[in-house]
Structure 1
Amino acid sequence: MLLLFLAGCTGTPDAPDTPDDRPSGGHWRPEPGLTWQWQLSGRLDPAVDVPVYDIDGFDHPGSAVADLHRRGRKVICYLSTGAWEDFRPDAGRFPKSVLGRGNGWKGERWLDIRRTDVLGPLMAERIDMCRKKGFDAVEPDNMDAYANATGFPLTAADQLRYNRLIARLTHDRGLAVGLKNDLDQIPELVGDFDFAVNEQCAEHDECDLLTPFVRAGKAVFHVEYELPTRDFCPDARRLRLSSMLKKYELGVWRRAC
């Protein structure tokens, strides 16, 4: 999902590009059970005592990422890779031919993911931005277009090809990458992604579908919006999911399992 409650985010200038000092063994690989904070709206609160933060890549400068690193956090860069957003600074660079139907959020439209000739370079630049700001990983959103009414005749094969492109672009830049939702394609994609991000698998009785990630030693960062914690935390613990209750605006408030 994508949210529009972006007022009050950090506005200090970017920190200088960080040197590529990642271990020679490769990018970060989050393990099951890590607690996390997902904040996409409001003024960033860096003081939540968790090892992982997931924040908007456009809205926060490198200095905010560096501050979280000083506090001992790994930081995930939220990007929309499957939908166009009219409020992003690069929105004008997307040709109309790749813009489909609205995805249910104001100012957003599905992208024609078959057009990797157009979208590949644009997404590479976005991921470059995450790398330059010092992020450790990318959360690419709207990764299940083929299962939605996009206005394009997208297939499961189109989605697999595009999702693997996003994973490859991210890994090429030394960052970890998460599979957002797209539960039906987990068996084919678990080897391409380093972790999963899921919304509402408990509400839809789908959390067991995420077990391939956990079995592979990869974290599943999971949120519910409608269920009380007593209704999903026991199963989340059993499945070793990193679960919490959030409000739809994804502000500071959280209630972890």
Structure 2
Amino acid sequence: MRHTARAILLALALSLALAGCSGTEPEDGRWQPGPGLDWQWQLDSRVDPSVDVPVYDIDGFENTAADVARLHRDGRKVICYVNVGAWEDFRPDRAAFPKSVLGEENGWAGERWLDIRKLSVLRPIMERRFDMCRGKGFDAVEPDLVEGYNNDTGFPLSATDQLRYNRVIADIAHDRGLSVGLKNDLPQIPQLLSDFDFAVNEECAQYDECAELTPFVAAGKAVFHVEYAVPTGRFCAESRRLNLSSMQKRLELGVWRKPC
């Protein structure tokens, strides 16, 4: 009996350890990444699967279902990067966006801010994009540029407009069984925490903002964080204290990474 009980306890411990490697599955089946997970973020070209981490965040358009399946075979969870806040002239669905929703350039080549108030126009486009992510087998979505209200978009966007749009984006993901991350948009974390399953952040250490992400960690949700200009020696101690999933990357987001 003692040997049987010990075997059960060991099996349970192993199960919990494996769950901690890539997160948990809530009752509705969506993946819930937990704090402290190591990750790779590669948006520059097709994914290189050689990095030994439990989570990959890769471009939804540039990678195939076979690429996602390969990562799954290696035991990875895979996040689908999709730009939901700006039009990109290099995407195959670029013609689906009417000129009326295209605003100012956002500083990246070939990109223009979107008028996120036009939900009747943008929602079906984003639904098709998230359908693509689901169809390729992704576990989650990273919707980019969800803080247009704090930028010179060419439109009079308000914080209320942004909250409405971000919640619509989260709903689109959840309706498809996909987890969804809140990208940056730190001021709206208190209002959006319950709508998003994890956070993705750029440069919170450089701007002394990392503590603002702690509500996600306190809720058992991962914070996937990168710095570009700040070396690891200047932010990793705090990242470990806050239980963030932190690394240094180059701005082009290729394969190179230097994790904490």
TM-score normalized with structure 2 length: 0.89
1:206 is the counterpart of 2:214: no
Amino acid at match of 1:25: D
> How do 1:107-256 residues align onto structure 2 when only pairs under 5 Å count?
107-256=110-259
Call closer, same or farther: CA 1:169–1:113 in 2, change over 3 Å. Answer: same
Equivalent of 2:105, from 102, 105, 109?
102
Amino acid at match of 1:114: R
Superimposed CA distance per residue, residues 69-106 of structure 1 (whole angstroms, 9 cap, x where no aligned partner): 00000000000000000000000110000000000001
Superposed structure 1 runs of 4+ greater than 6 Å apart:
none
Equivalent of 1:49, from 45, 49, 52?
52
Structure-2 residue corresponding to 1:6: none
Gapped regions of structure 2 (runs ≥ 5): 1-24
Sequence identity percentage:
69
Amino acid at match of 2:94: A
Gapped regions of structure 1 (runs ≥ 5): 1-21
| CA RMSD after TM alignment | 1.0
Greater shift in the superposed pair: 39-48 or 162-171: 39-48
User: Which has the larger share of helix?
Assistant: 2
CA distance in 2, matches of 1:123, 1:249: 24
Q: Is the partner of 1:243 in helix, strand or coil?
A: strand
Amino acid at match of 1:158: D
Greater shift in the superposed pair: 232-241 or 41-50: 41-50
Superimposed CA distance per residue, residues 183-235 of structure 1 (whole angstroms, 9 cap, x where no aligned partner): 00000001000000000000000001100100000000000000110100000
Structure-2 residue corresponding to 1:88: 91
1:67 is the counterpart of 2:70: yes
CA distance in 2, matches of 1:185, 1:72: 33
- Which structure has more relative contact order (CA 8 Å, sep 6+)? It is 1
Contact 1:32 1:218 in 2 (8 A): yes
CA distance in 2, matches of 1:155, 1:42: 34
Give the aligned length.
236
Contact 2:26 2:32 in 1 (8 A): no
CA distance in 1, matches of 2:197, 2:27: 17
1:64 deviation in Å? 0.1
Call closer, same or farther: CA 1:111–1:226 in 2, change over 3 Å. Answer: same
1:39 is the counterpart of 2:65: no
Superimposed CA distance per residue, residues 158-197 of structure 1 (whole angstroms, 9 cap, x where no aligned partner): 0000000000000000000000000000000010000000
TM-score normalized with structure 1 length: 0.90
